[in-house]
Amino acid sequence: MAKLSGTVCIFDLDGTLVNSAPDLTAALNRALLREGLKEIDESKVRGLVGEGARALLTRGFAMQDRVFPDGEEADRLVLDYIDDYASRISEHSHAFPGVEDALDRLSDLGATLAICTNKVERLTEPLLKDLGLWDRFAEIVSADSLPEKKPSALPLLTIKERTGAERGVMLGDTATDFLAAEAAGMPCLIFKEGYGAGDPRIAGAPVFDDYEALPELVLALPQGA
């Protein structure tokens, strides 16, 4: 029996499978410029990613002491941002080195592969299709696929149920992923090249440095959850 049969490996998308920071930064900056605000450097934008489009815009505004509006005005800003980002979603984004081989290896070991992202479905699908990753996952849950998104446990538990897995493992890059996994009772490994660096909430979390090392680290996890 394959060693990881019954395990679903649930990958976060931005900052975990895909380095999307350049395109996220460009789209955020186009939105900020439309509102008369200044551009933000990619190194800072990385730290704003993880809780979806509205949170990214809200944080971009807050960094420049502008309160993000609410109501219809906010909805319009978020929709305009999503439309614009969707139209140029994979100009510079790419899978992190070693992702495809690690996915092959985990599949060979019997694991089921899934994605849980706080991107909305309208962004998740074109990004994964453009990068040739869409067909690799048995289940893909986005921010708007279910009534709650990460850090709720709901998307992770739903993936576990839909894939019929006995246990789940979360592979993510920010506290949002870590807290969702904790709430779902799943172990979580944090990708060090992702966007959560320096967040005290994940300071003590187990990490993976690169994709080559990942399959062995998943194999070594306690098979409890």
Q: Is 14 in the site for ligand PGA (CB under 6 A)?
A: yes
Distances in Å between the Cα of 168 and the Cα atoms of 4, 131, 180 are 10, 25, 12
Query: Residue 130, annotated ligand binder?
Result: no
CA distances from 98 to 16, 60, 212 (A): 12, 31, 6
**Binding of ligand PGA by 139 (CB under 6 A):** no
Using CB under 6 A, pick the residue from 4, 8, 51, 163 that binds ligand PGA. 51
Binding-site size for ligand PGA (CB under 6 A) equals 12
According to DSSP, the β-strands at 207-208 and 7-11 are unpaired
Q: Which amino acid is at 85?
A: Y
Whether 80 is a known active-site residue: answer no
CA–CA separation, 170 vs 105, rounded Å?
A: 17
Asked if 51 is part of the footprint of Mg ion (rule: CB under 5 A), the reply reads no
Binding mask 7-46 for Mg ion (x = CB under 5 A): -----x-xx-------------------------------
Give the end-to-end CA distance of the chain in Å, rounded to a whole number. Answer: 19
Residue 52 in contact with ligand PGA, rule: CB under 6 A: yes
Closer residue to Mg ion (CB): 139 or 173: 173
Binding-site positions read 12, 14, 173
> What is the set of active-site residues?
12
